[in-house]
Structure 1
Amino acid sequence: MNNALATIVACALLAGCQQVPRPETTTDAAGNTLTQWPVPAAAGSAQPDLSLAPDGRLLLSWIKPYDKSRHALQYTTFDRQGPWQWTPKTIAVGASMVVNWADTPHVAATADGTIWAHWLQKTRGEDGGAAYDVIVTHSVDDGLTWSAPVRAHDDGKAVEHGFVSFWPAARDRLGMAWLDGRNTGGAHAAHAAHDGGNGTAEGAGMMSLRAATIDTASRIADAVEVDPSVCDCCGTDVAVTARGPLLVYRDRTDNEIRDIHATRLEGDAWRASRVVHADGWKIAACPVNGPAVAAAGDNAVVAWYSAAGDMPKVQLAYSVDAGDTFAAPVQVDAGEAVQGRVDVALDAKQAWVAWLREDAAGQSLWLARYAPDLSRELSRTQVAKLQGRGRATGFPKLAVRDGEAFLVWTDVAAGVPQLHGMRIAPPR
């Protein structure tokens, strides 16, 4: 092949020799390098999840419209060397898939290479209200095929189940925690929490927190109730410490105190939960604003939103004993503009926390970096100004690999959601 022909062929393969633009890079006042990180999700995509696999790949999932009546759950990976696996793989397609700004699917990997995913499947409540189940599937061939989907729970009740967290329970087994409405007395009672109610009705019980494991034969085991009374629709989160998985969630007392609690799995039993910090936030409705946790060895950091005393704020608390105790919290941000919707990450050199603000000028996404023990703030960066407002922008997702932070979020322009990404490298 002569040089001219080779050039023509190469140009054809590169879609007409169009040069792929280099991602825009900026440096903030603290010396952090921010690099745009385009993600391979089509317009209309939202509800992202971002996790770090044992082999170092980043796993990103999202939901997008598939046709006029169905949605698709998709995922892709970002290797250590990059770039993205640019053609997404479809996990599931369905007309009954729950598409919710807060209660979103997750994707994760275990050490044997299995990819795990969950979504929420609508059912018809016994009282005619909405209900849904936690559906789990896995792939042992890097997403080419997926196992028959199974329910994470066996109560058989048409009530709400959701706000799931994943962790590796073994090399080839996944741990799961979720909010479970089997004691609430019906889907309508639980669903009231999403509309500003307290999620209960006369004679109804409370939303509970449950956990189980699943293996690659799709067998559910170790099912247990972790806490009989929790906030109805605040997300849960798990990080694996040197002493076992640390699970955080928003608790709910009889007199409607909804502070953040933590519990750790020791052997086959979950410890009695302990409050991360006694904010004393009394609210007779679910704020739909759960905590986030990250861990490295025995060290753990929890981030959360509270509006105790009618003052919205984002706080961080640090533990040196895998969640047995937490130091007094650090206040990250406060004021009416603070929306919360936090995520957090931790490595040997720093702790990261992401959160949203919204004021008259619009929404903005922020990222702060602290010393690992939270003793000092290292930097604070406005990562993006968003066009979207309110709940449509959902929850940002944060992961850290090799000292670099990776952040994914949803923005909405002209009514159409779109995923965006940013890489943040601290100064060396």
Structure 2
Amino acid sequence: MLRPGIAVIVALGLAVAPAGAAIRSTPVPLPMQGHAAQPGLDTDAKGDIYLSWIATAAKGHQLRFSRWDGKGFTVSATVAQGTRWFVNWADVPGLRVMPDGALVAWWLEKTAPGTYAYGVRLTRSADGGRTWSDAVSAHADSSPAEHGFVSLWPMDAHRFALVWLDGRDAPSEDAHDHGGEGATGLRTAVFSSAMQAAGESLIDARVCDCCQTDVALARQGPVVVFRDRSEKEIRDIAVVRWDGSRWSTPRPVHADNWTMPGCPVNGPAVAARGDDVYVAWYTAPGDQPTLRLARSTDGGASFAAPVTLPARRSVSGRVDLALVKDAVWVSWLEETDEGAFLMAARYTSDLSTVDTTQIATLPRGRGTGVPRLAPHGDGAFLVWTTVTDGQPQLRAAQLSEAPAD
């Protein structure tokens, strides 16, 4: 078992970080009590962290949020609540901060009795979350199909856009049950600050049915990553880029050639700064579960061969990424028969040097969801879900480079 604060030797020819450059994990008190799960993170222009999560209410569920300025969290506030929400460990709501300081949030609501018949709802606040607009649907389609796994970003000062997985063209919702011939698509839409849809389009007509999407803003525009799905059931990670007028043709980040008959429920993560774009993902060609990290220096147009994350146990994936100055922070989960282990790594920007540490021990299973990373100061902010006496609770930590002895 790895001990926190100790750099480990990395396989596959990666260098070992110099002594004294290990990772420090500092616990952060959180502003909620009781049931809390499905966390989301975003960072505003000042570097403040916005944490969102789902809480149980007297009737149904609530989407709540709080802001952290590095010293403490504000009192949590409610974005929305309802009794017909679709609540799932992998497909989660979230909140994004726009360039003008406005907040845009989304959650999932059931649209019909079927298990996976649900849609995406959107709302916006122009006053820091004190009041919210009436909710609107993120998509024109209202069929009883899956609409979820959202990634959302600002287009400019007055518009935002999102992508989601859309099952309107699948023959039945059974496509979500990790098999069948369903054709789940990746779709996108643009909204004005008045919450009016300005266009909806199809990016990819055949993608993996229930793996998370992610988006990052590179110099030339948004870069979206997702798990694609070929006619031969190859489910490798794909990337598309917006050039200001159209989306590029989806292309693989790396040809893993992972043939998988069902959805692994394990999406990629992407982070960008200027022309540098990094993607981390789970794959298992030859039935060998592996975590990979690749870098692009041309805005996501092409990627160098990936490195393999230095896992010491069976990897369950659920990766996230954050870029801070010249460091690339990564989080993921590993597991054994005894439990699950939340791990973090800090790479140099060229991916040649890495420090790794264990952050927490967690119970096995889907109840721990997907840990989230966000840049903060000279390090990263990490939030995750644990389960105590059957009740999900959130935990958080600041990650930083430990000073030399």
Q: Name the TM tier (shorter chain).
A: over 0.9
Could you tell me how far apart the structure 2 residues matched to 1:129 and 1:404 are?
A: 40
Find the aligned partners of 1:143 and 1:283 in 2 and give their Cα distance.
Answer: 42
Decide whether the 8 Å contact of 1:357 with 1:363 is kept in 2: yes
In the alignment, is the contact (CA less than 8 A) between 2:28 and 2:395 conserved in 1?
yes
SS in 1 for 2:242: strand
Give, in angstroms, the shift of residue 222 of structure 1: 3.0
Aligned-partner Cα distance in 2 for 1:95–1:264: 37
Asked if 1:95 is matched to 2:83, the reply is yes
Once the two structures are overlaid, the 10-residue window that deviates more, 168-177 or 269-278, is 168-177
Match of 2:112 among 116, 124, 138: 124
The 1-side partners of 2:165 and 2:139 are apart by 11
Residue 23 of structure 1: aligned partner: none
Distance 2:55 2:175 in 1: 26
Aligned match for 1:389, one of 360, 364, 380: 364
Distance 1:212 1:409 in 2: 29
| Residue 178 of structure 1: how far off its partner (Å) | 0.3
Find the partner of 2:213 among 212, 236, 255.
236
1:264, 1:323 within 8 Å by CA — same for their partners in 2?
Answer: yes
What amino acid maps onto 1:309 in structure 2?
G
Q: Deviations over 1:269-292 (max 9, x none)?
A: 100011001111101100000000
The answer to whether the 8 A contact 2:5-2:402 is kept is no
RMSD: 1.5
Greater relative CO (CA pairs within 8 A, separation 6+): 2
Q: Which residue of 2 aligns with 1:22?
A: none
Alpha-carbon displacement from aligned partner over 1:333-387 (angstroms, at most 9, x marks no partner): 457621000001113311111000110221110001111121222x10101111x
CA distance in structure 2 between the partners assigned to 1:232 and 1:318 by the alignment: 26
CA distance in 1, matches of 2:100, 2:244: 21
Once the 2 structures are TM-superposed, how far is the Cα of residue 392 of structure 1 from its aligned partner? 0.7
2:313, 2:175 → 1: CA distance? 28
Q: Residue 41 of structure 2 is aligned with which of 43, 46, 50?
A: 50
Give the deviation of 1:189 after TM superposition.
2.4
Stretches of structure 2 lacking an aligned partner (at least 5 in a row): 8-20
Task: Output aligned runs, 1:211-250, within 5 Å.
Answer: 211-250=188-227
For 1:74-113, what aligned pairs fall within 5 Å after superposition? 74-80=64-70, 82-85=71-74, 87-113=75-101
Matched, 1:179 2:165: yes
With 28-37 and 286-295 compared, the bigger mean Cα shift is at 28-37
Alignment of 1:191 with 2:168, yes or no, is no
Residue 290 in 1 paired to residue 267 in 2? yes
Q: How does 1:24-63 map to 2 (within 5 A)?
A: 28=6, 30-63=21-54
- Report Cα offsets for 1:373-410 as digits up to 9, x if no partner: 21222x10101111x21111000000112221110000
1:40-78 CA deviation, whole Å, 9 max, x = no partner? 1222100000111223221100001102x4111100101
**Which residue among 104, 121, 125 is the counterpart of 1:135?**
121
1:422 matched residue in structure 2: 397
Say which SS state the counterpart of residue 309 (structure 1) adopts: helix
Q: Between the two proteins, what is the percent identity of the paired residues?
A: 45
| Aligned residue pair count | 387
TM-score (norm 2): 0.92
Change (3 A) 1:27 1:256: closer
TM-score by length of 1: 0.88
Q: Could you tell me whether the CA contact under 8 Å between 1:261 and 1:276 is conserved in 2?
A: yes
- Contact kept, 8 Å, 1:59 with 1:78, in 2: the verdict is yes
Equivalent-residue separation in structure 2 for 1:27 and 1:130 (angstroms): 42
Q: Which moved more, 1:28-37 or 1:163-172?
A: 28-37
Q: Is the 8 A contact 2:324 2:379 kept in 1?
A: no
In the alignment, does 2:130 pair up with 1:154? no
One-letter code aligned to 2:176:
H
